[in-house]
Amino acid sequence: MKKIIFILLSLVMFTALAVGINAGTDYIKPNPPVTVEITTPTVDGNITKTEGWSAPVYMNEDTMEYCVKNRPLNIFGEVYFALDWRGFYLAADITENVSAYAPDSNPPTIGVPMTAGLVYADDKDGNGQNGDCFRIGIDVLDIMRTNPGVDVSERYTVGPNYSVYIYEDGSFRVYGFDDNGDVTDITREVVIEGSATVVGWCFEILIPWQKIVDDIEFLTRHKSKPEIEDIISDGAIVRVGAEYYDRWTRSETGVAVLYNRYYTAEEYAEDNLWDFGVKRPEHLGIELNVSNTCKNMGEHSWSDWIRIKEPTYFEKGKDVSLCNRCGELMYRDVDILEYRNTFTDVKGGSWYAEGVKYCVMRGYMNGMNKYSFEPNSMLTREQCVLILANLFDVDTTRYKNKDSGFKDVPTGKWYSGAIAWSRESGIISGMSEDIFGRGQYIKRDAFARILYAAADHMGMPMKGRADLTKYVDYDKVQNWAYDELAWAVVNGIIISTKDDVLMLSPRDNVKRAQCATMLWQMGELYEKYDELGLIEDKWGLK
């Protein structure tokens, strides 16, 4: 069976054992408080001091208390810390002293060859308890130490147990408690890299704040849920405890039969005081003082600007830059867009130039390409639907893969989402129940009916009708569009196609220039009603 290196990392500060413990020393010299910078080290398994790690915290004879048995300390460790807006970073470099025999054991194994140093786990039980392990407990803002709602056995507990397995091929698998207290694979929730030899190992790990915060909320019975901004603020305190299981194996079998257990402490510790109901030594013996170096020294390391809001012709955009050290955000405004007519086929002063400008600035219509608007091209039904979707600021990507029910409308096309939305909203119906009429052109009277439905949908007053009999071709207007066309004419949205005679041309195809001009006129009407307070349900134009 493939051997593995077992590292047990825990955000849980350890539940008290209901057994007597012999203290190895009468007094613990805790590590002094450590300043932890808000910085972003690279989690690659190589502890590089220039990445902003804290000064080392030592796991040695002075700072470690013994549990289970009074044996000589056979490890030496250096632990480093860092944090940023993403999470809590920890790096550990552990060295083990090699000894040929266990000086003491239970049951007694005097004279039986034993192997010290790094002991691999074989993962037979799925939790690696037969290999060396490192544990860490974390308490942010003293919540676990001071929260009266936390059971004494969980007072120093934050989050689930993390069991990290390092295989000989360099891969990792991490186990931990879920919200129900059950062990589950959480490898994807943390970032960890490391390496090992037979006499020691080192690793770096990033534990996301969200995981820690959720665990605190769970363990405090939803009474406390710290804000990440408070945890990583200048002057905040994070307390940490470290524990190490130093396994011993029989050299002839390779089976772990006993171990030494050491933990960092904060204050005086006496023999047999770790029982339930009796004074407990303080495990969270490492005090981390958060220092926003950027705030105190002005040494921000800003990322490139990231566009989070595009500017429009009416509103400024916004960029953001992130400090790679402390996570502070810096914003800058992006100037509103200045309209420039790039269309070579839209001449200034033409009767449709203002309508094109109006629609382009608001995003209702775009050119067929950067330099061509194609004002004389006919408006297709799918183009019309997309224009209406833009008018109502509809996110058509939500409908892109939705089946519209029309046989001639496939999903995934530039018009698919708009057509699916239009059928759902009822603004434009198909040519039949299952045919939309993709590629067919929109007639002027039909477009009047569409604009009428849109205006009504926007809450505009739908009053006023023109006398269409004054137009020489009024008899060509379809009965189903007569009232809507009369409304569009009286409100100046649709005008005569001839200068010398009143002509509606109801059965002519709508050109793109005409479409832009009609939308402009309807927009002007909307703004007029809006100023008068006559809009009933404001959907709003861009």
The single-letter DSSP state of residue 211 is H
Taking the C-alpha atoms of residue 172 and residue 162, their distance in angstroms, rounded to an integer, is 12
* pTM, 2 dp: 0.50
Is the per-residue pLDDT at 234 higher than 60? yes
What letter represents residue 108's amino acid? P
Question: Confidence class of residue 483 from pLDDT cuts 50, 70 and 90?
Answer: very high
Over range 498-509, report the average pLDDT. 95
Most confident of 43-47, 211-215, 374-378, 420-424: 374-378
Q: How much is the mean pLDDT over the chain?
A: 77
Top-confidence residue, 139 or 248: 139
Is the per-residue pLDDT at 305 higher than 50? yes
* pLDDT at residue 259, rounded to an integer: 63
DSSP 3-state of 306 = strand
Is the per-residue pLDDT at 511 higher than 90? yes
Question: Confidence class of residue 440 from pLDDT cuts 50, 70 and 90?
Answer: very high
* pLDDT at residue 37, rounded to an integer: 81
Percent of the chain scoring above 90 in pLDDT: 32
Top-confidence residue, 345 or 275: 345
Strand order in the sheet with 120-121: 120-121, 4-10, 161-167, 172-177, 183-185
φ/ψ region of 141 (left if φ > 0, alpha if ψ in -120 to 50, else beta) reads left
89-124 pLDDT per residue, tens? 999 888 876 443 444 444 444 444 455 566 665 555
Over range 338-348, report the average pLDDT. 93
* pLDDT at residue 212, rounded to an integer: 82
Is the per-residue pLDDT at 297 higher than 80? no
Which of 86-100, 415-429, 450-464, 471-485 bottoms out in mean pLDDT, i.e. has the lowest?
86-100
Query: Which tokens is 530 given?
Result: 């809006």
Are 263 and 274 in contact, with CB atoms under 8 Å apart?
no
* pLDDT at residue 23, rounded to an integer: 36
Q: Is the peptide bond before 107 cis (omega within 30 degrees of 0)?
A: yes
- Give ∠ CA 311-315-321 in degrees, rounded to 5: 50
In 10 A of CB 256, how many CB atoms? 21
Tell me the β-bridge partners of 237. Answer: 289
Is the per-residue pLDDT at 15 higher than 70? no
- Give ∠ CA 140-143-148 in degrees, rounded to 5: 165
Is the per-residue pLDDT at 474 higher than 80? yes
Top-confidence residue, 161 or 334: 334
Taking the C-alpha atoms of residue 37 and residue 60, their distance in angstroms, rounded to an integer, is 24
Query: Which tokens is 44 given?
Result: 């690659």
Query: Which tokens is 302 given?
Result: 């800003």
Which of 76-90, 254-268, 431-445 bottoms out in mean pLDDT, i.e. has the lowest?
254-268
Question: Confidence class of residue 487 from pLDDT cuts 50, 70 and 90?
Answer: very high
Over range 144-166, report the average pLDDT. 51
